[in-house]
Amino acid sequence: MIRSDVTCAFTVFSLCALIAACGKTAAPPPPAIPVTLTPVRRADVPLLIRATGTVEPIRTAAVQSQVNAQLLHVRFTEGDDVRERQVLFELDARPFEAALGQAQAVLSRDRAQWENAQHDVQRYSALASKEYITQQQLDQAKATAGALVGTLRADSAAIDQAKLNLQYATIRAPISGRAGSVLVKEGNQVRSSAGQTLVVINQISPILLRFPVPAAYFDVVRHRANQLLEVAATPVGDSTHAEKGLLVFLDNAVDSLTGTVTLKANFPNKTGALWPGALEAVSLQLDVEKNVLVVPQSAVQNGQSGSAVWIVDSAKKAHVVKVTVLRSTDSLAVLAGGVTPGQRVVTDGQLRLTEGVTVTIRGEGPGGARDSSTPTARDKTP
């Protein structure tokens, strides 16, 4: 009887265990990871050199007075665009007018003395021919007339200098450009000997952009310098607007301290976007590489073991592939190989990927068709 009860209990326990085992379900597979894909392709990519440059005027002029006088009038407004030969400052011209009048009076006096000396020479010559005077007296008359000729020349030079000083009382713009701050106000005394700058004028259009590039590019730039290489410039920190110019200068030496060579580009700067002293992000296009293998830069991940991209196969499995990046542009990475055109690389969602994991493709509905409920870049309204 006891054996029968034990057997019955064991049978009941086994049935309960079997029922519990049948009630358990298999663990669900991990959810697919959403990613964004872009196909690998071949394209023509410009070969660019990037640098940071400084804008500098082609011509700059520090306007100074060439005479000592009081500044009476400023005939322009700070920050104005001024033309060459435009009147900028007017000095007190009265001292120079008086000096000119005095020089002209001296010239008239000395001319009268010279004319009298000429008459003396003529009279002495006639008297000497009749031996009424000595040859020494004739020579003395000629010497006096000759000395007065030199005096007349000095008087004429003094008049020219007085006229020049009178012209200097009106200070004109030596170049066309943008005027800076007025450094000497009306009513102040200006002096030519003190090196006193009244205003600085910078030529704004056209304008130069000076920038250094690594010496490794020296040969390639030198061999293409006669090809009118295009240079683009955008303000540092602002890439919304770019100015276009042409390379016009390649320095004749490499800076041994920085290992760079200085280049200059000329920009028309019709809009005045480039300003002297401003920093600009510069890109110099040297060439265009044809039919190279490219992927978006966002597809490339860099690590201690090198660069890699994630590709997704036809079964929507993710696989990591090591690649060699030859160079990069603003948006593209040029690859030496590792992938082939048409393969799809992940551009967003890589951080959650592991080797062989299943993915879902953003913007793609069931069966691989694009989901019309998910807008793409083409569907979005700018």
Output the DSSP codes for 249-288. EE-SS-BTTTTEEEEEEEE--TT--S-TT-EEEEEEEEEE
pLDDT at residue 182, rounded to an integer: 96
Beta carbons of 78 and 182 less than 8 angstroms apart? yes
Among candidates 185, 186, 180, which has minimal Cα distance to 79? 180
363, 304: one domain: yes
User: Would you tell me how many other CB atoms lie within 10 Å of the CB of residue 207?
Assistant: 25
285 in any annotated domain? yes
pLDDT at residue 199, rounded to an integer: 97
141 in any annotated domain? yes
pLDDT at residue 91, rounded to an integer: 97
pLDDT at residue 367, rounded to an integer: 52
pLDDT at residue 10, rounded to an integer: 45
101, 72: one domain: no
Domains identified in the chain, total number: 4
- What is the model's pTM? 0.66
The CATH number given to whatever domain includes residue 147 is: 1.10.287
What Å distances lie between residue 324 and 16, 52, 151, 306, CA to CA? Answer: 61, 27, 87, 8
300 in any annotated domain? yes
R_g over Cα of the chain? 45
DSSP-derived 3-state class of residue 5: helix
Rounded Cα distance between 285 and 18, Å, is: 76
126 in any annotated domain? yes
Local confidence pLDDT in tens for the 382 residues of the chain = 444 454 444 454 455 554 455 555 556 667 888 999 999 999 998 888 889 999 999 999 999 999 999 999 999 999 999 999 999 999 999 999 999 999 999 999 999 999 998 888 888 788 878 778 888 888 888 898 889 999 999 999 999 999 999 999 999 999 999 999 999 999 999 998 888 999 999 999 999 999 999 998 888 888 887 788 899 999 887 767 889 999 999 998 999 999 999 999 999 999 888 999 999 999 998 888 899 999 999 999 998 889 999 999 999 999 999 999 988 887 899 999 889 999 999 999 988 899 999 999 987 755 554 543 344 433 333 3
Look up residue 227 and give its DSSP letter: G
For residue 144, what are the domain limits? 93-168
DSSP-derived 3-state class of residue 131: coil
Q: End-to-end CA distance of the chain, in Å?
A: 89
pLDDT at residue 27, rounded to an integer: 61
* 143, 168, 193 - which closes a domain: 168
378 in any annotated domain? no
pLDDT at residue 366, rounded to an integer: 55
* The residue to which tokens 């992000």 are assigned: 281
Q: Which two tokens stand for residue 322?
A: 């090591």
Burial of 284 (0-12, 13-18, 19+ CB in 10 A): buried
Residues near 98 by Cβ (< 8 Å), separated by ≥ 6?
none
38 in any annotated domain? yes
The β-bridge relationship of strands 207-214 and 87-91 is unpaired
User: Which helix (H) or strand (E) element contains residue 378?
Assistant: none
176 in any annotated domain? yes
